[in-house]
């Protein structure tokens, strides 16, 4: 009946040892445990070849395992604590204590829930925004062999270690990866992303002021450009370069012409008393007088062209138009100057706000830049080989001592009988007893197939 335990009597002829005399059988484990350490050492010495063979197997397996484990490299970088590390509340609390001890400040910050800028930096580095940018930058989903972004984040967090020294405030970042170049690049990217996010997420008063001034500068610049275009168009259409200087020059020129006209008229009157009107000198003076009168009229009417004749393209505005042009010119000039002044003042204030913002923004200062790892950080091959050999030796020793204790146990001992019965029942239930029979049947079939093929 399969499943019925079969008890076998030990063969008296198989007992005995070639090295040690056959020890007397014992009926309890306590009696075996009472044997001296010397006898156990003799037993291990007797089975030294077995122990050494198991140790060799353990060394071989652990060596193979140590070289099959993927190599990892670690890149490390350290950041200096921010300049404005202590918050105002914590600083005032330390001032009230009268000592300013860093340990008291840390304790007060922990009790009151105050966070330092170093803790803020660590929180930013662990944010999903930074992790997603690093994953996209280095294509870590393909590197880690995952499809989901969440799995890539989890793997990146496992490969990245961040810590802040409570005493010095120094932030350490360790990145492990199978590639030393990628480990270094990821560590450097952590620093660059931190610096960029600190600037982008800055909410200080100087930052808000700078943003306002930059928006205001854009609007003022548009107004200044519009005013400058209107002013230049007006000056170009009316040939008004400088109304004040132009008016002064035109009045002086008109006065000069008027003086020459009066002198020519006086000369003409004198010549008419001596010569007839048909005289050459009289006609020449009269022609000069007409020319001076025409010039004065043109200056008064504003119809003086480049050729000195009446036309539409005037070189200068007329004296009569100068007052009207002066008012418009002055308004446009004043508006343009106002916009220029406002733009200059806003530019100065914006630059000052940028300087103040740079002072208030926590700066990321690198203490130790990430370097290319020269040695692997994992696995510790010598340690794995040593531990594998050690555990193999321990298993061999336990097996030798346990087997010796089992062999010297009384065959009629209830514990031994129970173990044998349990082994037989389990073997029968699992069908292991017929395993040898099935193997023989398979071998016979293979031999029959070969014989039939040969025939």
Per-residue model confidence as pLDDT tens digits over 111-129 = 444 456 678 888 889 999 9
* Three-state SS at 328: helix
Among 302, 337, 316, residue whose Cα is nearest residue 231: 337
Alpha carbons 361 and 82: distance in angstroms, whole number: 9
Question: Same domain, yes or no, for 112 and 143?
Answer: yes
State residue 13's pLDDT score. 47
Going by C-alpha positions, the residue among 158, 161, 156, 184 that lies closest to residue 173 is 161
- Do residues 82 and 363 lie in contact, with contact meaning Cβ atoms separated by under 8 Å? yes
- Identify whether residues 135 and 197 lie together within a single domain: yes
> What does the pLDDT read at residue 258?
74
Q: Is residue 63 in a domain?
A: yes
| Shared-domain flag, residues 398 and 317 | no
60-107 pLDDT, tens digit each = 999 999 898 889 999 999 998 876 544 443 344 344 434 444 444 444
- Whether 12 is in a domain gets the answer no
SS3 388: helix
Per the structure, the complete domain to which residue 149 belongs is given by 73-202
Question: Over 60: is that where the pLDDT of 152 sits?
Answer: yes
Domain membership flag for residue 247 = yes
Mean pLDDT of the chain: 75
pLDDT at 370 over 50: yes
pTM for this one?
0.52
- Residue 438 falls within a domain, yes or no? no
Q: Which pLDDT score, from 0 to 100, does residue 106 have?
A: 47
Using CA atoms, how far apart are residues 22 and 33, in angstroms rounded to an integer?
A: 17
Instruction: In whole angstroms, give the CA distance from residue 43 to residue 31.
Output: 16
In terms of domains, do 88 and 189 share one? yes
Domain's final residue, options 202, 229, 264: 202
Report whether pLDDT(6) > 60: no
CA distances to 200, 232, 350 from 353, in Å? 16, 33, 5
In angstroms, the CA 64 to CA 444 distance is 38
Higher-confidence residue of 236 and 339: namely 339
74 φ/ψ angles, rounded to the nearest 5 degrees: -120, 125
Which uninterrupted H or E stretch holds 160?
A: strand 160-164
Is the pLDDT reported for residue 376 higher than 60?
A: yes
Cα separations (Å) of 180 from 71, 137, 158, 367? 10, 17, 17, 20
Are 260 and 296 part of one and the same domain?
yes
- The answer to whether position 112 is within a domain reads yes
CATH number at residue 191: 3.30.1890
DSSP H or E run through 433 = none
Mean pLDDT (whole number) for 181-205: 85
Tell me whether residue 1 is in a domain: no
Domain check: are 114 and 174 in the same one?
Answer: yes
Q: Which two tokens stand for residue 97?
A: 């204590």
**DSSP symbol at 372:** -
Strand-pair partners of 73: 177
Among residues 202, 230, 247, the one where a domain terminates is 202
* Domain tally, the chain: 3
Considering the domain architecture, whether residues 103 and 186 belong to the same structural domain is answered as yes
- In a shared domain, residues 59 and 84: no
Q: What is the model's pLDDT at position 289?
A: 83
- Alpha carbon distances (Å) from 413 to 15, 167, 309, 318, 407: 18, 65, 144, 138, 12
Q: Are residues 198 and 77 in the same domain?
A: yes
> What whole-number distance in Å separates Cα of residue 339 and Cα of residue 221?
8
| Residues 414 and 330 reside in one and the same domain | no
Report the pLDDT value the prediction gives residue 88, as an integer from 0 to 100. 40
Residue 448: which pLDDT band, with cuts at 50, 70 and 90? low
What confidence score (pLDDT) does residue 203 get? 65
The CA distances from residue 340 to 119, 219, 336, 345, in Å, are 46, 12, 6, 9
Give a yes or no: residue 211 inside a domain: no
Question: DSSP code of 367?
Answer: E
Collapse the DSSP code of 197 into the 3-class scheme (helix H, G, I; strand E, B; otherwise coil) and give the result.
helix
Last residue of a domain, one of 172, 202, 232: 202
Sheet architecture: strand order including 73-79: 160-164, 171-177, 73-79, 366-368
Same domain, 139 and 183: yes
Displacement of CA 34 from its chain's centroid (Å): 67
Whether 451 maps to a domain, the answer reads no
Q: How large is the average pLDDT for residues 220-232? A: 84
* pLDDT tens column, 313-336: 555 566 556 666 666 777 777 888
Q: Is the CA virtual torsion 314, 319, 324, 326 positive or negative?
A: positive
On whether both 63 and 82 belong to a single domain, the answer is: no
């Amino acid at each position: 009946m399969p499943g019925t335990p079969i008890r076998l009597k030990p063969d008296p002829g198989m007992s005995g040892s070639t090295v040690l005399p056959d020890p007397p059988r014992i009926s309890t484990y306590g009696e075996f445990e009472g044997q001296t350490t010397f006898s156990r050492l003799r037993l291990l010495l007797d089975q030294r070849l077995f122990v050494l063979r198991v140790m060799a197997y353990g060394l071989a397996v652990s060596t193979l395992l140590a070289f099959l484990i993927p190599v990892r490299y670690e890149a490390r970088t350290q950041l200096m604590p921010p300049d404005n590390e202590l918050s105002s509340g914590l600083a005032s609390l330390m001032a009230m204590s009268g000592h300013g001890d860093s340990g008291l400040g840390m304790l007060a910050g922990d009790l009151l829930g105050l966070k330092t800028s170093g803790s803020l930096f660590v929180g930013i580095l662990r944010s999903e925004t930074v992790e997603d940018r690093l994953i996209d930058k280095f294509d870590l989903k393909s590197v880690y062999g995952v499809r989901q972004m969440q799995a890539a984040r989890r793997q990146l967090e496992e490969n990245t270690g961040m810590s802040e020294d409570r005493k010095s405030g120094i932030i350490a970042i360790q990145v492990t990866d199978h590639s030393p170049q990628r480990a270094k690049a990821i560590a450097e990217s952590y620093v660059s992303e931190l610096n960029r996010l600190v600037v982008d997420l800055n909410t200080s008063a100087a930052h808000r002021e700078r943003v306002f001034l930059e928006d205001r500068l854009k609007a003022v610049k548009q107004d200044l450009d519009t005013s400058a275009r209107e002013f230049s168009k007006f000056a170009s259409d009316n040939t008004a370069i400088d109304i004040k200087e132009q008016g002064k020059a035109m009045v002086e020129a008109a006065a000069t012409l008027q003086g020459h006209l009066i002198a020519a008229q006086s000369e003409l009157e004198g010549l008419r008393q001596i010569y007839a009107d048909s005289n050459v000198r009289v006609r020449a003076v009269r022609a000069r007088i007409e020319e001076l009168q025409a010039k004065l009229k043109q200056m008064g009417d504003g119809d003086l062209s480049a050729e000195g004749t009446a036309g539409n393209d005037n070189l200068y505005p007329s004296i009569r138009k100068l007052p009207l042009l002066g008012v418009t010119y002055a308004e446009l000039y004043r508006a343009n100057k106002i916009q220029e002044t406002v733009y200059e003042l806003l530019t100065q204030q914006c630059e000052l706000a940028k300087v103040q913002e740079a002072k208030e923004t926590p700066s990321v200062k690198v203490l130790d830049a990430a370097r290319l790892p020269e040695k692997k950080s994992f696995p510790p091959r010598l340690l794995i080989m040593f531990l594998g050999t050690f555990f193999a030796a321990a298993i061999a020793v336990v097996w030798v001592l346990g087997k010796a204790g089992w062999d010297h146990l009384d065959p009629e001992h209830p514990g031994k009988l129970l173990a044998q019965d349990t082994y037989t029942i389990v073997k029968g239930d699992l069908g292991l007893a017929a395993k040898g029979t099935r193997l023989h049947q398979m071998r016979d079939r293979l031999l029959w197939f070969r014989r039939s093929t040969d025939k």
